[in-house]
Amino acid sequence: MVEVARWEHRTRRLSRLFGSPYLACYCLGFIIILLNVYRSHSMTVAMKAQGRWEVMDRTDVFYAGVALMVLGTVLVVSSFLSLGFIGTFLGDYFGILMDEKVTGFPFNITENPMYWGSTANYLGLALIGASPVGLVLTAIVAVAYKVAIRFEG
Ligand SMILES: *[C@@H]1O[C@H](CO)[C@@H](O)[C@H](O)[C@H]1NC(C)=O
């Protein structure tokens, strides 16, 4: 997705295709949301298929998972609220500049609250489901985000 946004930044093809950088960014954002929903769904299906692992099937692990999902949701929602739709979905690649760099919560805790919030959500889901497959998939998501952050930086 970052690659698509970079290509857009170079060529402005999507903006021209949609007639407006805003519309292009909204469409790309919508596709990113759909892909995220699909990814969460696939992870749930994979976890269900494998079943619960008794080593992880404990009350404290369960509550750690709930806490992570609360933390992740707070990070994702507060990030979205302070960036807005355009800012969240890489508006700056489309040449729509934010007024100023957002520095308040949650950006004073982590530079990429969207990515780390989503990772916390996936990890929480894996713990609640007592799922080794969930842990592996969470690790893959975390690595993918780390790579994305490098490219964006
Ligand atoms: C981040 O900002 C929020 C709200 O302005 C504040 O309550 C919180 O203490 C800050 N956290 C850090 C680690 O600076």
Average pLDDT (97-122) is 87
Verify whether ligand 1 is closer than 6 Å to residue 85 (CB atom): no
Q: How many other β-carbons are positioned within 10 Å of the β-carbon of residue 119?
A: 22
Helix, coil or strand: residue 130:
coil
Task: Region of 105 please: left (phi>0), alpha (psi -120 to 50) or beta.
Answer: beta
Other CB atoms within a 10 A radius of the CB of residue 61 amount to 15
**Percentage of the chain with pLDDT > 70?**
92
**pLDDT tens digits, one per residue of 13-38:** 888 888 888 888 888 889 989 999 99
Alpha-carbon gap, residue 25 to 48, rounded angstroms: 35
* Best residue among 78, 105, 111 to mutate for probing ligand 1, ranked by most atoms within 8 Å of CB: 105
Cα–Cα dist 139/132, whole Å: 11
Residue 93: predicted pLDDT: 65
**What pTM value is reported for the model?**
0.85
Span of 62-76, 101-115, 117-131 with lowest mean pLDDT: 101-115
Flag whether pLDDT at 40 surpasses 90.
yes
Confidence of residue 92 (pLDDT cuts 50, 70, 90): low
- Look at residue 91 and tell me whether its pLDDT is greater than 90: no
CA of 21 to the centre of ligand 1 (A): 33
- Would you state the pLDDT for residue 128? 96
The atom of ligand 1 lying closest to the CA of 106 is 1
> Which residue type does 15 have?
S
